[in-house]
Amino acid sequence: MSTIFGIPPQALFGQLLLGLINGSFYALLSLGLAVIFGMLNVINFAHGALYMLGAFVAWLLLTTAGIGYWWALLLAPLVVGAFGVVLEKTLLSRLYKLDHLYGLLLTFGLALIVEGAFRHFYGVSGQPYPIPDLLRGGQNLGFMFLPNYRGWVVVASLVVCLATWYAIERTKLGAYLRAATENPVLVQAFGINVPLMITATYGFGVALAGLAGVLAAPIYQVSPLMGSNLIIVVFAVVVIGGMGSILGAVLTGYGLGLLEGLTKVFYPEASNIVVFVIMAVVLLIKPAGLFGRER
């Protein structure tokens, strides 16, 4: 049998597919971060905690109210989004006039509080969340066994990413948003409610994190640590893609997922640092990120 770099091609396809699945989570999360940074200029460190919150809302809905996966997919992002709106209205909105650093510190502190609270009540080992009946089992693709649920994750995240990109880049509302980012005073002068748009954007961005949390619940344990495990990588993804660039965040998310998958085959020990090595290299060559604009 022929091999590619000593690996049978079947195994390689399998690993690429797995990379794509992990990339889906990176893409969904970094998309939310990019949207928030683009519109609010806030580096949202609470993103990982809100992703965890999404998974926990789904788990709580199931265990306390018996509400299943599909409703959770709708409800959890709404709950997380609403929580985000409250945060923005009461806390974040006071910081827009200050340096970026303050937003970062505030959201970082919020993340620690939320995670600490969940850790206190639920421990670190996490809670099991079953895969919905409809998506149980899997397909034998010849080169690997693909669980149906993982396939669904890729499709769902692709659809959401494309829809978000379309809404921001190709619709009238998106045009307002982009204009408000460039020059909020002028846009406000045209009679558009800019503060409302900012609040809605933050709510939407964190709702994406909540959605990713629900998607992740059946794959990983629903654990207070799940966000902090992922968030650092996601920040690296955003930095590599270019802060605030939506297309950049999505493409980089999938791309780095693939690359990480390959690393796990060729040099597994390095799989948790490869993303950061790439980040360092990209920052040296293109400080604004692959898709970012120099300001």
- Amino acid at residue number 246: I
- Name the nearest CA neighbour of 14 among 153, 179, 106, 144: 144
Q: Is residue 135 a contact residue for another protein (CB under 8 A)?
A: no
Q: Is residue 234 a contact residue for another protein (CB under 8 A)?
A: no
Q: Is residue 126 a contact residue for another protein (CB under 8 A)?
A: yes
Q: Is residue 237 a contact residue for another protein (CB under 8 A)?
A: no
CA distances from 193 to 11, 88, 176, 189, 243 (A): 53, 16, 10, 9, 25
Q: Is residue 123 a contact residue for another protein (CB under 8 A)?
A: yes
Give backbone dihedrals phi and psi of 147, rounded to 5 degrees, phi first: -60, 135
Q: Is residue 259 a contact residue for another protein (CB under 8 A)?
A: no
| Burial class of 5 by CB neighbour count within 10 A (0 to 12, 13 to 18, 19+) | exposed
Two tokens, residue 23: 């990339």
Tokens 């920040």 identify what position? 235
Task: Show the CA angle centred on residue 212, arms to residues 149 and 159, nearest 5°.
Answer: 70
Site map (CB under 8 A) of another protein, residues 185-224, x = contact: ----------------------------------xxx-x-
Q: Is residue 6 a contact residue for another protein (CB under 8 A)?
A: no
Instruction: Give the residue, chosen from 85, 105, 131, 156, that forms a contact with another protein under the rule CB under 8 A.
Output: 131
Instruction: Give the residue, chosen from 65, 70, 100, 119, that forms a contact with another protein under the rule CB under 8 A.
Output: 119
Stretch that binds another protein, among 86-94, 120-128, 164-172, 173-181 (CB under 8 A): 120-128
Cβ closer to another protein: 74 or 134?
134
Instruction: Give the residue, chosen from 268, 284, 285, 295, that forms a contact with another protein under the rule CB under 8 A.
Output: 268
Instruction: Give the residue, chosen from 68, 132, 147, 184, that forms a contact with another protein under the rule CB under 8 A.
Output: 147
Residues 6+ apart with CB under 8 A from 208: 28, 29, 31, 32, 35, 77, 160, 164
Q: Under rule CB under 8 A, how many of the chain's residues touch another protein?
A: 38
Q: Is residue 21 a contact residue for another protein (CB under 8 A)?
A: yes
Chain CA centroid to CA 124, Å:
21
Instruction: Give the residue, chosen from 85, 225, 247, 259, that forms a contact with another protein under the rule CB under 8 A.
Output: 225
Stretch that binds another protein, among 67-75, 141-149, 240-248, 275-283 (CB under 8 A): 141-149
Q: Is residue 124 a contact residue for another protein (CB under 8 A)?
A: yes
Cβ closer to another protein: 116 or 287?
116
Three-state secondary-structure class, residue 272:
coil
Residues 6+ apart with CB under 8 A from 253: 23, 24, 25, 26, 27, 28, 29, 30, 31, 234, 237, 241
CA distances from 59 to 56, 120, 123 (A): 5, 17, 14
Q: How far apart are CA 34 and CA 241, in angstroms?
A: 9
Per CB under 8 A, residues contacting another protein are: 8, 10-11, 14-15, 18-19, 21-22, 119, 123-128, 131, 138, 144-145, 147, 149-150, 219-221, 223, 225-226, 229-230, 261, 264-265, 268-269, 271-272
